[in-house]
């Protein structure tokens, strides 16, 4: 596995691969890799000649009071995991390589960036869209892989790609979970033992709503109410938002619809966790 930290070296290699007729599959991450990340790499490995993974904790997507400084990092562990997953190139630039000056251009995906997660984290999706666009220009992938765990992020990226005619296919893969249902996340490492136990309630609430839908209870208000009752049983867990929304545009649904996504964000102590379930 080749490790690259320079943008020009990465671009040159991407050009060479493309000239040789190789397809490039790309998995952008912030590192501290877990099974969720690895599932994206495995899928990329199946469908692409060359698999490129980036690890970059992107400062522009963190708010001033957020966890940029304490975001977990594990260079050596991540390198070994990528190697074992059959990754061809690990691109891990320093912040000053990606942002040598005050970033002069930002990409804002209108509307969708300001609701739900975007309403709680102003500027977050502007940072995400901008860094993903930069990474696409550096890695030049044919296909890029994202996790459904960050559902709204997937909608933002797809809209950016469509709106700017980027020549990249976006594939979204299912959320990988711990045995008790908690969505894998690098931020789970922040959780104290009692918080970790309580965190399983998030998925319990999502699956309870899914069961209700299957049994014929589909009104969003009833689903939210049932979920809130479950979540309230955990005193240390505070709900940031809980919404039943349309799967394409994330507008809140007031009546039952054929397809819906339930999105949730909670706080457990100092840790913020998000999750979602797609009910089609
Ligand atoms: P991150 O390192 O958290 O920025 O995530 C990098 C990529 O991995 C994103 O596309 C995430 O949606 C995806 N991802 C994170 N957690 C999971 C998970 N539990 N299952 C599947 N994909 C995930």
For residues 84 and 248, what is the distance between their CA atoms, to the nearest angstrom? 35
Ligand 1 site, residue 220, Cβ cutoff 6 A: no
Task: Summarize the confidence of residues 269-274 as an average pLDDT.
Answer: 97
8-state DSSP, 60: G
Three-state secondary structure of 88-133: CEEECCCHHHHCCCCCCCCCCCCCHHHCCHHHHCCCHHHHHHHHHH
Buried-exposed string 115-136: b where 16+ CB fall within 10 A, e elsewhere: bbbbeebebbbbbbbbbbbbbb
Cα 216 to middle of ligand 1, angstroms: 32
> Rounded to two decimals, what is the model's pTM?
0.98
Q: Is residue 147 within 6 Å of ligand 1 at its C-beta?
A: yes
* Per-residue pLDDT band at 232 (split at 50, 70, 90): very high
pLDDT at residue 4 is higher than 90: yes
Q: Do 19 and 55 meet the contact criterion of CB atoms below 8 Å apart? A: no
Average pLDDT of every residue of the chain? 98
Q: What percent of the chain has pLDDT over 70?
A: 100
Residue range 97-107: average pLDDT?
Answer: 98
270: Cβ–Cβ under 8 A, 6 or more apart, which residues? 190
Indicate whether residue 218 lines ligand 1 (CB < 6 A): no
Give, using CA atoms, the residue closest to atom 10 of ligand 1: 146
The per-residue DSSP string of 185-218 comes to -GGGGG--HHHHHHHHHHHHHHHHHHHHHHTT--
Q: Which of 25, 26, 27, 29 to mutate to test the pocket of ligand 1 (most atoms within 8 A of CB)?
A: 29
pLDDT of 50 reads 98
Q: Is the CB of 39 under 6 A from ligand 1?
A: yes
Which amino acid residue places its CA nearest to atom 18 of ligand 1?
36
Is pLDDT of 280 > 90?
no
Q: CA–CA separation, 144 vs 203, rounded Å?
A: 27
Ligand 1 centroid to 34 CA: how many Å?
Answer: 9
SS3 9: helix
Distance, CA of 100 to CA of 93 (rounded, Å): 11
249 band by pLDDT with thresholds 50, 70 and 90: very high
Q: Identify the band that residue 146 occupies on the pLDDT scale cut at 50, 70 and 90.
A: very high
Neighbours of 99 (CB within 10 A): 16
Ligand 1: atom nearest CA of 146 is: 10
pLDDT at residue number 36? 98
Question: Which token pair is 96?
Answer: 């000053």
| 39 alpha carbon – ligand 1 mean position (Å) | 9
- If one compares 256 and 49, the residue with the highest pLDDT of the two is 49
276 in contact with ligand 1, CB cutoff 6 A: no
- Residue 37 annotated among the catalytic residues of the structure: yes
Q: Is pLDDT at 139 greater than 90 in this prediction?
A: yes
For ligand 1, the distance from its centroid to the CA atom of residue 19, given in whole angstroms, is 30
Please state the atom number of ligand 1 nearest to the C-alpha of residue 40. 22
Q: Is the pLDDT of residue 239 over 90?
A: yes
- DSSP H or E stretch at residue 24: strand 24-29
The tens digit of pLDDT for each residue in 19-71 reads 999 999 999 999 999 999 999 999 999 999 999 999 999 999 999 999 999 99
Asked whether residue 203 carries a pLDDT value surpassing 90, the answer given is yes
- Between the CA of 138 and the centroid of ligand 1 the distance, in Å, is 20
Per-residue model confidence as pLDDT tens digits over 113-136: 999 999 999 999 999 999 999 999
User: Confidence band (pLDDT; 50, 70, 90) for 256?
Assistant: confident
Measured in whole angstroms, the distance separating CA 7 from the mean position of its chain's CA atoms is 23
Token pair belonging to 19: 């000239």
Rounded Cα distance between 44 and 36, Å, is 13
Residue 65 in tokens: 């009071």
What is the mean predicted confidence (pLDDT) over 93-104?
98
Is 175 touching ligand 1 by the criterion CB < 6 Å?
Answer: yes
CA distance 56 to 203: 28
Q: Is the dihedral of CA 244, 248, 254, 257 positive or negative?
A: negative
User: How remote is the CA of residue 150 from the centroid of ligand 1, in Å?
Assistant: 7
- Asked whether the beta carbons of 115 and 249 are under 8 A apart, the reply is no
Mean pLDDT of 171-198: 98
Q: Position of tokens 């309403």?
A: 119
pLDDT mean over 172-186: 98
pLDDT of residue 47: 94
């Amino acid at each position: 596995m080749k490790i690259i930290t320079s943008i020009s070296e990465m671009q040159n290699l991407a050009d060479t691969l493309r000239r040789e007729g190789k397809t490039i599959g790309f998995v952008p991450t912030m590192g501290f890799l877990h099974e969720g990340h690895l599932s994206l790499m495995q899928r990329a490995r199946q469908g692409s000649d060359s698999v490129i993974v980036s690890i970059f904790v992107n400062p522009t997507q963190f708010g001033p009071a957020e966890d940029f400084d304490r975001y977990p990092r594990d260079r050596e562990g991540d390198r070994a995991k990528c190697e074992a997953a059959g990754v061809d190139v690990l691109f891990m630039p320093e912040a000053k390589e990606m942002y040598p000056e005050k970033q002069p251009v930002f990409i804002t995906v209108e509307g969708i960036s300001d609701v739900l997660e975007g309403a709680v984290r102003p500027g977050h999706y502007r940072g995400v869209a901008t860094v993903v666009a930069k990474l696409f220009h550096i890695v030049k992938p044919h296909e890029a892989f994202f996790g459904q765990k960050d559902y709204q992020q997937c909608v933002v990226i797809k809209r950016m790609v469509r709106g700017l005619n980027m020549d990249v296919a976006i594939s979204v893969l299912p959320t990988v979970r711990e045995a008790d249902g908690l969505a894998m996340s690098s931020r789970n490492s922040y959780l104290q033992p009692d918080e970790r136990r309580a965190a399983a309630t998030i998925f319990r609430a999502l699956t309870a709503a899914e069961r209700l839908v299957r049994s014929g209870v589909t009104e969003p208000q009833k689903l939210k109410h049932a979920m809130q009752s479950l979540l309230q049983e955990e005193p240390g867990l505070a709900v940031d938002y809980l919404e039943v929304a349309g799967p394409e545009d994330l507008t809140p649904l007031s009546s039952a619809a054929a397809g819906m996504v339930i999105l949730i964000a909670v706080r457990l102590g100092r840790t913020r966790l998000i999750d979602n379930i797609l009910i089609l």
